[in-house]
C-alpha cells in the first residue's frame, strides 16, 4: 500500500501568485513533502516513510501567463520521488507559482481554441536529452519522427498502440521497441525472451508481430510454456519440450532483461505503454497526443 500512496499526487490550490524573484525551491519541496506525508497518514500509513531525502527538484522552466491584463510567472517543474525500496523512483510534473505554495490543478488554455498554453513547456520539461540505452530497432519508415516504444506484449493498450504505429511509417523514421513484462505469469516473460532471442534475426519483425497478436486459448498450468508451444507451432524452430526451451531462454536473457527493466524504472516507468517521440514522453495510449507529436516539425 505504501508504494501506491507514495506516488499519488493531490491537488492543492488554483490561484496565481504575485511576482517574486525566482522559484522558491526549498519551500516547494517542503510543501510537496508535507502533502505526501498527509496523504500517507490519511491512508493509514507511516508518514515517516518519506523525508526530504526522498524528494528532489530535477528541472524547472518558467513561463508567463497574462490574466486580466496582468502578467504572472508560473513554473513547470519536475520532481523526482524515490521510494523506501532501492531503485524505486517516480517523476511528478507540476505547474506552480514562484512561492512554491500554489499548484495549478488543470491547464492554462486559450478559451477560443481550447489549446493548451503551457503544453510546449511541459514537453520541454519531460524531454529526454540522452538515449536511455534500451530498445531494439524494429523498422525504418519514410518519416522523421524517432519513436521508442516501452511495452508489455500482453497489455491490451500496448497491443492497440503497436498496431497503430505499424500504420504510421510515413511519419516515423525510426521505431525501436523495449519490453517491460509487468505480469510475468501471463506469458509475457516468454514472449519477451523470444523477442530478445531473435532481435538480430531476419524473422525479428515476424516474432514481434506474433508477440502482439498471440492469444492463449488452451488450458495450461504454465502460461510461458504455452507461449513456447504456440510459437513453435508457428515457426517450428525448437525441437525440445517447451519447458526446456523456456529454461534456456531464461538463462540466456534474464540478466539482460533485468538490466533493461532497471533502466526503464530509472526513467520513472511503472506501467505500460510508454511512448517517447523525439524525446517527449507519452504515458498510455493517447492517440491525439501521439498524433500531435508525430506531426510536430523537428528542430
Give a yes or no: residue 51 inside a domain.
yes
My answer on whether 106 and 148 are in the same domain is no
My answer on whether 69 and 183 are in the same domain is no
CATH number at residue 177: 3.40.30.10
My answer on whether 113 and 142 are in the same domain is no
Question: What pLDDT is recorded for position 21?
Answer: 62
Give a yes or no: residue 150 inside a domain.
yes
* DSSP reduced 3-state for 164: helix
Give a yes or no: residue 174 inside a domain.
yes
Q: How many domains does the structure of the chain reveal? A: 2
Question: What pLDDT is recorded for position 11?
Answer: 31
Question: What pLDDT is recorded for position 112?
Answer: 83
- CA 205 from centre of chain: 23
Question: What pLDDT is recorded for position 84?
Answer: 63
Find the DSSP H helices in 43-171: 119-126, 156-166
My answer on whether 94 and 223 are in the same domain is no
Question: What pLDDT is recorded for position 297?
Answer: 81
Nearest C-alpha neighbor of 52 from the set 75, 76, 78, 26? 26
Find the DSSP H helices in the chain: 2-6, 25-42, 119-126, 156-166, 188-197, 204-211, 223-235, 242-266, 287-295
Check if the beta carbon of residue 267 is closer than 8 Å to that of residue 275: no
- CA 210 from centre of chain: 23
Question: What pLDDT is recorded for position 17?
Answer: 37
Q: Assign 3-class secondary structure to 252-263.
A: HHHHHHHHHHHH
Question: What pLDDT is recorded for position 147?
Answer: 96
My answer on whether 65 and 112 are in the same domain is yes
Which residue numbers in the chain have pLDDT < 70? 1-21, 84-88, 218-219, 299
Domain end position, chosen among 99, 126, 153: 126
Give a yes or no: residue 131 inside a domain.
no
Q: What is the pTM of this model?
A: 0.70
pLDDT per residue as tens digits for the range 219-244: 678 999 999 999 999 999 999 999 99
My answer on whether 113 and 144 are in the same domain is no
* DSSP reduced 3-state for 162: helix
My answer on whether 80 and 164 are in the same domain is no
Residue 15: domain span: 2-126
Give a yes or no: residue 158 inside a domain.
yes
* DSSP reduced 3-state for 272: coil
Domain end position, chosen among 105, 126, 147: 126
Give a yes or no: residue 208 inside a domain.
yes
The H or E element spanning position 85 is none
Question: What pLDDT is recorded for position 216?
Answer: 84
My answer on whether 146 and 219 are in the same domain is yes
Give a yes or no: residue 229 inside a domain.
yes
My answer on whether 257 and 141 are in the same domain is yes
My answer on whether 150 and 117 are in the same domain is no
Question: What pLDDT is recorded for position 265?
Answer: 84
C-alpha radius of gyration, the chain, whole number: 22
My answer on whether 291 and 154 are in the same domain is yes
Give a yes or no: residue 59 inside a domain.
yes
pLDDT per residue as tens digits for the range 72-105: 889 999 998 887 665 567 778 899 999 999 888 7
My answer on whether 23 and 169 are in the same domain is no
Domain end position, chosen among 76, 105, 126: 126
Amino acid at each position: 500500500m505504501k508504494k501506491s500512496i507514495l506516488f499519488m499526487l493531490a491537488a492543492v490550490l488554483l490561484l496565481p501568485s504575485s511576482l517574486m524573484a525566482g522559484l522558491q525551491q526549498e519551500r516547494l519541496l517542503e510543501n510537496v513533502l508535507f502533502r505526501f506525508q498527509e496523504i500517507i497518514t490519511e491512508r493509514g500509513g507511516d508518514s515517516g516513510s518519506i523525508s526530504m531525502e526522498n524528494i528532489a527538484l530535477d528541472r524547472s522552466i518558467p513561463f508567463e501567463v497574462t490574466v486580466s491584463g496582468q502578467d504572472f510567472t508560473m513554473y513547470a517543474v519536475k520532481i523526482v520521488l524515490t521510494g523506501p525500496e532501492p531503485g524505486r523512483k517516480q517523476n511528478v510534473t507540476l505547474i506552480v507559482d514562484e512561492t512554491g505554495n500554489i499548484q495549478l490543478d488543470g491547464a492554462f488554455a486559450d478559451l477560443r481554441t481550447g489549446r493548451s498554453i503551457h503544453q510546449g513547456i511541459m514537453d520541454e520539461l519531460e524531454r529526454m536529452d540522452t538515449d536511455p540505452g534500451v530498445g531494439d530497432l524494429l523498422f525504418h519508415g519514410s518519416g522523421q519522427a524517432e519513436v521508442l516504444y516501452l511495452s508489455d506484449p500482453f497489455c491490451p493498450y500496448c497491443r492497440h498502440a503497436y498496431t497503430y504505429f505499424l500504420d504510421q511509417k510515413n511519419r516515423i523514421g525510426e521505431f525501436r521497441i523495449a519490453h517491460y513484462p509487468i505480469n510475468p505469469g501471463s506469458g509475457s516473460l516468454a514472449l519477451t525472451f523470444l523477442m530478445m532471442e531473435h532481435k538480430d534475426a531476419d524473422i525479428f519483425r515476424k516474432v514481434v508481430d506474433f508477440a502482439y497478436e498471440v492469444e492463449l486459448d488452451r488450458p495450461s498450468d504454465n502460461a510461458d510454456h504455452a507461449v513456447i508451444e504456440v510459437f513453435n507451432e508457428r515457426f517450428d524452430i525448437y525441437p525440445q519440450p517447451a519447458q526446456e526451451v523456456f529454461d534456456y531462454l531464461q538463462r540466456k536473457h534474464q540478466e539482460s532483461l533485468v538490466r533493461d527493466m532497471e533502466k526503464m524504472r530509472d526513467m520513472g516507468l511503472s506501467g505500460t505503454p510508454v511512448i517517447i517521440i523525439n524525446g517527449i514522453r507519452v504515458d498510455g495510449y493517447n492517440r491525439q497526443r501521439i498524433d500531435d507529436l508525430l506531426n510536430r516539425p523537428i528542430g
